Structure formats: structure tokens, C-alpha cells
Amino acid sequence: MKVLICDATAQSALDTIAEAGIEVVNRPDITPEELMEVAAEYDVFVVRSRTKVREALINVATNLKAIVRGGVGLDNIDVEYARSKGVQVLNTPTASTDAVAELAVGYIFALARHIPQMTASMKAGEWAKKSFKGSEVGGKTLGLIGCGHIGQGVGHRARALEMNVIAYDPFVEPFYGIDLVTLDDLFARADFISLHVPHTDGTHNIVDAEALAKTKDGVYIINCGRGGTIDEDALYAAIESGKVGGAALDVYAEEPSKGHKLYTLPQVIGSPHVGAGTREAAVRVGAETAQQVINALK
């Protein structure tokens, strides 16, 4: 049995798989063209978000038994097609929960207190004490679009900060501490909106110009979920007009995102899709990935 590691994965995970008697080939920088050429040699692909596993690749991977995604989302994999070919599709749904939730909460503070902008001002040699009037998050309302593992993680942390937490998610049951509401109600009530949904036909641009028009003036938008769930042109226009107070983005409709026009706006802060990028999450993701590979081949 041979496993191809297509994206960066913790060495401890590779060691665990090898100790189970499975051959591991580590090619974390493999290109799509190279992957097509060697796909038939492997029983399992291990991927993160970089590698795309589409129909054409699945068709040439004639020995493929499983695709293991180290992380939560599966939008980079043609899941139903793979399963129709008898290929298992597995992920690690909880391993990166804490890392992503903490980044989202960090962005709540960064937006409310203008931390990145103040840092840039200080580095420019300024003392603009009166230019950065912030807000306290206690008593404010956080609206979660999507309330799975990560959304709930953000919500529970926000409640500890004495925020009111509401959520829109048609796929979860009510639970303590987070009120489920309609999407329109969420847009109308939230001071901060944080997205935690996969990118699907149903969630594509779920935050668009029409939705933004329904929000409070000065609302803050945070997306540590998936790109394509916010209409980025509409968000740009809403920030420029003052309707949206600011945005913090970790994910984008097209990645890698370089020189995005949103970053010409001083109210926008962000990161290059690093939500799960902590040392602790890497160890957890690696451990769960290794176990999923071993279980799949057993």
C-alpha cells in the first residue's frame, strides 16, 4: 500500500503511517501535472486545501482507495464523484477547530480596537492617540453564519467576552447559549458577522450587496471559513460607502490572493488562509490524518 502526501503534513503523521507498514511518499509541493502522471501508483492521497482532487484526477488514479483531507472543508475534492468510484473521502473535522475559532475571535478584537492600523501608525513614527477611537465587544451582538464545530467554538468564546451570540444554520438543532435566528434577522441585529460555512451552491455569495444593505451601519465582517461566500465587490463598495465598518478576511474567492483591491482600504485587515495554522493544530490534524489513512486501508 502506498500513500502520497500531496500537501504539507506533520512529520509525526508520516511516521505513524509508516510504522503501520504503509509506504509513504512525501511530495508536499507536487504540481497538478505531476500528480496526474503518478496518480495511478497510489492507494491514498493526503491533501490539505492546496491540492484539488477533481474528476479527471480520480479517473486516472485507478488504484485509489481513499482521499484524506487534513482539515474541515471538502470543497477542493469532488466528493460525490469519488464515492461513486468506490473511493472513501475522509477529513479531520475537529482538529483545527480551536485554531480557527481563536483567529476569528482575535479578529473581533483587532477590528473593534483598530489594532493593525494603530501598529502601522506607530511604526510610521506617529502618535495619533485621538485618531483611533475603538469599541468594546462586551454587550455587542455576534452573528454566526454557520454554527458547526468552529462556529460553536467562536460562539462560546464570544459569550465568555459577554457578547450576545446569534446564529443562522438550518442544519443544527438549538443548543444552550447561542440563539438560532433567520438570516435576515441576523443581518439586522449583528454588530459583528462571522462566517463559518463551506462554499457550496447554497452559500455562494451568501453575503452579497442585498444582504449588506440589511445590516447595521458600521457592522464588522469576519471570514475565516471559505472564500466565495462573500461577494467581494459588494463588500468593497459597502466599506467604501461606510455601510460596513471594516472586514477581516482569511479566505478569498480566488487563492492565492495577491494585490486584492480590498487591501487598498484601510478598514480591511487579513491573512493568507492561515486559520488552522498553529503548531498545536498541525499536530492534531496530523494525528487524525494518520489514523484516517490507517483505518481506510484496513
Q: Which of the residues are catalytic?
A: 226, 255, 273
DSSP for residue 172: S
Cell digits of residue 232: 467581494
Please enumerate in sequence order all residues whose Cβ is within 8 A of that of 119, keeping only pairs 6 or more positions apart, or say none: none
Between the CA of residue 272 and those of 108, 141, 249, what are the distances in Å?
A: 17, 27, 8
From the list 168, 159, 169, the residue with the least C-alpha distance to 189 is: 168
Cell digits of residue 241: 460607502
Cell digits of residue 96: 483545527
Radius of gyration of the chain (CA): 21
- Alpha-carbon dihedral angle through residues 254, 257, 260, 266, given to the nearest 10 degrees: 120
Cα–Cα distance measured from residue 82 to residue 64, given in angstroms and rounded to the nearest whole number: 9
Helix residue ranges per DSSP H, 20-72 = 32-38, 55-60
Between the CA of residue 146 and those of 149, 152, 158, 223, what are the distances in Å?
A: 9, 9, 15, 11
Cell digits of residue 281: 493544530
Beta-bridge partners for 256? none
